[in-house]
């Protein structure tokens, strides 16, 4: 089992949401990455099924159908999971959960508040989220992005003001365009 935050040699990143809740997390690994999220009492993380790598003893895991996530029929029709896994810390002390990428991919933390509360990603890019994040499926209306398969124009739309962790193959670059 992985060590908790206070015994690792690396300093965790700290995310502070719009309600002033502070959530520390760390991303481990090079090609196959794992994000470790510290959960205070009564905090929760929502993740896609099959992504949990490890968790502390105080964390409870529940497989649920989240009604506000508009996945349902489209996900089921294309063979995807229609449920989400909720990791909740009901205990009196801090706990942690490690969530792994299901394939060789980089895990990118995205603060949706900095992107106007909405981003559009590839299908299956969503890994997990903290705070207020809603995942829905949408169709890309731009003709230049249509590929010969049905998944060529399906996208995941992440909306809200929370922190989302998405998967990206290859290397990621951050730059500002003007």
Question: What CATH number corresponds to the domain at position 69?
Answer: 3.60.160.10
Considering the domain boundaries, does residue 8 fall inside one?
Answer: no
Among 32-41, 71-80, 101-110, 154-163, which is the least confidently predicted range? 71-80
Structural domains of the chain, count: 1
Considering the domain boundaries, does residue 140 fall inside one?
Answer: yes
Q: Which residue has the higher pLDDT, 61 or 66?
A: 61
Contacts of 175 (CB under 8 A, 6+ apart): none
- Contact (CB, 8 A) for 41 and 89: yes
Considering the domain boundaries, does residue 46 fall inside one?
Answer: yes
The structure's pTM equals: 0.78
Range of the domain at 147: 24-168
Backbone angles phi and psi of 85, in degrees to 5: -105, 130
Considering the domain boundaries, does residue 71 fall inside one?
Answer: yes
Q: What pLDDT, on a 0 to 100 scale, did the predictor assign at position 85?
A: 87
∠ CA 158-117-67 to the nearest 5 degrees? 45
Mean of pLDDT over the chain? 77
Considering the domain boundaries, does residue 157 fall inside one?
Answer: yes
Considering the domain boundaries, does residue 5 fall inside one?
Answer: no
pLDDT digits over 43-63, tens only? 999 888 878 888 988 899 888
Which residues make beta-bridge pairs with 47? Answer: 85, 128
Considering the domain boundaries, does residue 98 fall inside one?
Answer: yes
- Contact (CB, 8 A) for 100 and 33: yes
The dihedral through the CA atoms of 44, 69, 106, 114 has a sign that is: negative
């Amino acid at each position: 089992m992985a060590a908790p935050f206070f015994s690792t040699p690396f300093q965790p990143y700290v995310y502070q949401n719009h309600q002033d809740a502070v959530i520390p997390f760390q991303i481990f690994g090079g090609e196959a990455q794992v994000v470790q999220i510290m959960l205070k009492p009564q905090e929760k993380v929502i993740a896609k099924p099959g992504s949990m790598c490890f968790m502390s003893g105080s964390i409870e895991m529940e497989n649920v159908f989240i009604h506000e996530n508009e996945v349902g029929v489209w996900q089921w029709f294309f063979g995807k999971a229609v449920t989400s896994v909720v990791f909740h810390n009901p205990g009196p002390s801090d706990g942690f959960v490690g969530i792994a990428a299901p394939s060789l991919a980089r895990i990118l933390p995205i603060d949706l508040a900095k992107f106007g509360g909405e981003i559009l990603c590839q299908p299956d890019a969503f890994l997990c989220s903290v705070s207020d994040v809603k995942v829905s499926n949408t169709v890309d209306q731009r003709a230049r992005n249509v590929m010969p398969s049905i998944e060529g124009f399906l996208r995941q739309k992440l909306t809200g003001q929370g922190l989302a962790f998405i998967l990206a193959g290859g290397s990621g670059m951050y730059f500002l365009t003007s």
